[in-house]
Amino acid sequence: MKVYFDNAATTRTCDEAIDAMLPFFTTKFGNASSLHSWGREAREALEKSRETVAAFLGADADEIIFTSGGTESDNIAIRGIASRHGSGHIITSAVEHPAALETCRYLEKKGFSVTYLPVDRYGMVDVEMLERELRDDTILISIMHANNEIGTIEPIEKIGRIARKHGIPFHTDAVQSAGKLPIDVKNMPVDMLSISSHKLHGPKGVGALYVKRGVKLESLMHGGGHERGLRPSTENVAGIVGFARACEIALDSMKEDAAAMGKLRDIIIGGVLEIEESYLTGHPTERLPNNASFYFRGIEGESLILMLDSMGIAASTGSACSSKKLQASHVLLATGIRPEDAHGSLRISLSRYNTREEVDYFLETLPGVIEELRKISPLWPK
């Protein structure tokens, strides 16, 4: 049996998105800036996709900038505000994705001051502390909607209301929540919001940044003025069309998908926690419906992933980016987990394509794998 449980890293492109994209590689290959019929056809598809992605987020079409993905969206938002001010103070959290975290670290080197808010043991940002950290020169608050490693949903409504009260722009990285939690920017105090196609069954290399009308960003790139000058370069029309189709499907089926994934997630959590010295990471209730994350005492995460892989199961430890560095996950450390325990982490992330049979196979397989690894572990028995 082959089981893909690493949907927070990337998802399978859905057939509907592939079908929608194909003509834009073959007959409809025009440049959306060209004046002839090929160009107009591409432009029409691009603008229709913009409307679809806008509807997915509850935005207006002119508030959507297409990008190359979540990383670029985060960079355009954070650095776009920073460049416009030239100096100032930014508030973010200790558990952000590297796309936001490393961008803030870079700005710190460039002379900006940055507050990295700590989190509680569930990975939740303290909203009152955030308000206390505000300064006269605070230019931006950037806090993610839901965490990619532990699935914790941050209180972005409350954070956004504080930002509004103080007239500070608020950016949120919604790459993991889009398609799993309802997002409606018209009714959310959010000024900028990042999403990525390949995390919701669209193709890789495409994303979007919602920029509320009136929010001004300085462009990081200079060129032909595409995407309101914020993202010059010939538009990836095929990718954008596939992304829009994936958003459309995600919006239609979000309720059922989230409910179904939530059930499987709870079965996984219940089953895994029966293993001796296993612990849930992230928030017990305020978490993504597709995320089940844990750590196991006396286990080395990389070995666990390879053993599971040899049994046909794809999962991850730490985040896909940080796992290669062999450093304990900054997210788990921020929740107060000891480094040696953080090294024994496991993240299961589901998609709408996962089944009960796959969950049962995983739960039958995991205890034996943990037992084998503990037999050869210098950290076990504790």
Ligand X SMILES: *Cc1c(COP(=O)(O)O)cnc(C)c1O
Helix (H) or strand (E) holding 211: strand 207-211
Between the alpha carbon of residue 217 and those of residues 190, 231, 268, 298, 349, the distances in Å are 15, 11, 43, 48, 34
Considering the complex, state which of residue 76 and residue 366 has its C-beta at the smaller distance from ligand X: 76
Nearest to 77 by CA among 243, 208, 247: 208
**Residue 18 CB, nearest approach to ligand X (Å):** 18
Stretch that binds ligand X, among 170-178, 230-238, 359-367, 369-377 (CB under 6 A): 170-178
Shortest Cβ 181–ligand X spacing (Å): 13
Q: Which of 54, 104, 141, 144 binds ligand X (CB under 6 A)?
A: 144
β-strand pairing of 207-211 with 64-67: antiparallel
Q: Which is nearer to ligand X, 73 or 278 (CB)?
A: 73
| Span from 27-35, 173-181, 249-257, 332-340 in contact with ligand X (CB under 6 A) | 173-181
Reported residue count of the chain is 382
Active site residue 321: yes
In the complex with ligand X, the residue whose CB is nearer, 8 or 342, is: 8
Is the Cβ of residue 196 or residue 293 nearer to ligand X in the bound state? 196
DSSP calls for 290-311:
TEEEEEETT--HHHHHHHHHHT
Q: Which of 40, 19, 38, 22 is nearest to 30 (CA)?
A: 38
Q: Is 99 an interacting residue with respect to ligand X (CB under 6 A)? A: yes
Quick one: which segment of 32-40, 168-176, 247-255, 260-268 binds ligand X (CB under 6 A)?
168-176
CB atoms within 10 A of CB 126: 15
- Indicate the residue among 176 and 354 with the shorter CB distance to ligand X: 176
The residue from 93, 138, 148, 335 that contacts ligand X (CB under 6 A) is 148
- Tokens standing for residue 81: 């505000």
Active-site choice (14, 104, 247, 321):
321
- Residue closer to ligand X, measured from CB, 172 or 278: 172
Burial 227-255, CB ≥16 within 10 A → b, else e: beebbeeebbbbbbbbbbbbbbbbbeebe
Task: Mention every residue, 6+ apart, whose C-beta is less than 8 A from residue 216.
Answer: 84
**Residues 176 to 215: which contact ligand X by CB under 6 A?**
176, 196, 198-199, 207
CA distance 364 to 340: 26
> Is the CB of 104 or the CB of 370 nearer to ligand X?
104
- Cβ atoms of 55 and 182 within 8 Å: the answer is no
Give the closest residue to 296 by CA, choosing from 364, 382, 360, 361: 382
Minimum gap (Å) between residue 73 Cβ and ligand X: 8
Does residue 226 belong to the site contacting ligand X (CB under 6 A)?
A: no
Q: How far is the CB of 297 from ligand X (least distance, A)?
A: 27
Shortest distance, position 174 Cβ to ligand X, whole Å: 8
Question: Judged by CB under 6 A, does residue 173 bind ligand X?
Answer: yes
Q: Which of the 8 DSSP states describes residue 163?
A: H
Least separation in angstroms between CB 235 and ligand X: 16
CB of 356 to ligand X, least distance (A): 26
Look-up: residue for tokens 């049962």? 360
- C-alpha to C-alpha distances, 214 to 47, 149, 191, nearest whole angstrom: 20, 33, 9
Q: Is 347 in the site for ligand X (CB under 6 A)?
A: no
Residue nearest to ligand X (CB): 70
Among 336, 57, 106, CA closest to 210: 57
Residues 8-37 that bind ligand X (CB under 6 A): none
Site string (44-83) toward ligand X, x via CB under 6 A:
-------------------------xxx------------
Residues that bind ligand X (CB under 6 A): 69-71, 97, 99, 144, 148, 173, 175-176, 196, 198-199, 207
Residues annotated as part of the active site: 321
